[in-house]
Amino acid sequence: MNITNLLICVLCVLPIYTASASEQVIQQRLADYRATGAADFDATRGAALWQQSHVQAKLGKAVSCRSCHSTQLQHTGQHLRTGKLIEPMAPSVNPERFNDSKKIEKWFKRNCKWTWGRECTAQEKGDLLTFLQSQ
């Protein structure tokens, strides 16, 4: 195949690929969690985790995932401390969500530690992602 044709192919496929990127990325995350021993994932359990609040040690206040990501996932959130607006979490209104595995893991690590004082387990991450994806 010559280079020009190859380039054209790549350019045509690109949009299709990005459109379903979040779906594929989430499936990959879930498969990885299963591989580390997690069982089936459940959106209802994910929803409960999302609301679960803990007292944040440095802040001295109860916080949950909703403290920054808004009580409604379709709405814009606001960082609890800096006041910066955070784009909606629901992929149905924000197609930019969950399209990069590294980004997802980075924020799970930071946010679970900050919000709950510990890292989330593979089971919890799978439940949370299943819940978030359904929104």
Partner 1 sequence: MNKKHIWGALLLIGSLTLAMTTLSWSDEDERWEHERGEGNRFWHETSNVPMLTNKAYQTECSACHFAYPASFLPERSWLKIMTSLEDHFGENAELDNDTQAVITRYLQNNAADQSPSRFSRSILRSIRTVDTPLRISETGFFKRKHHEIPNRMVVGNAKVRSFSNCLSCHSMAEKGSFDEDAVRIPGFGRWED
Structure tokens at 3: 């280079």
83 binding partner 1? (CB under 8 A): yes
Q: Which residues between 25 and 54 bind partner 1 (CB under 8 A)?
A: none
Under a CB-based contact definition with an 8 Å cutoff, are residues 103 and 7 in contact?
no
Segment interacting with partner 1 (CB under 8 A) among 22-30, 32-40, 42-50, 81-89: 81-89
Distance (Å, rounded) from C-alpha 87 to C-alpha 131? 17
- The contact mask relative to ligand HEC for 91-120 (x = CB under 6 A, - = no) is ------xx----xx--xx-xxx-xxx----
Report phi then psi at 121, rounded to 5.
-80, 165
- Stated as kind and residue range, the H or E segment containing 9 is helix 3-19
- Nearest to partner 1 of 24, 103 (CB atom): 103
Work out which of 4, 15, 35, 60 binds partner 1, going by CB under 8 A. Answer: 4
Distance (Å, rounded) from C-alpha 85 to C-alpha 31? 32
User: Using CB under 6 A as the criterion, which residues of the chain lie in contact with ligand HEC when the complex forms?
Assistant: 63, 65, 67-69, 79-82, 86-87, 97-98, 103-104, 107-108, 110-112, 114-116, 128
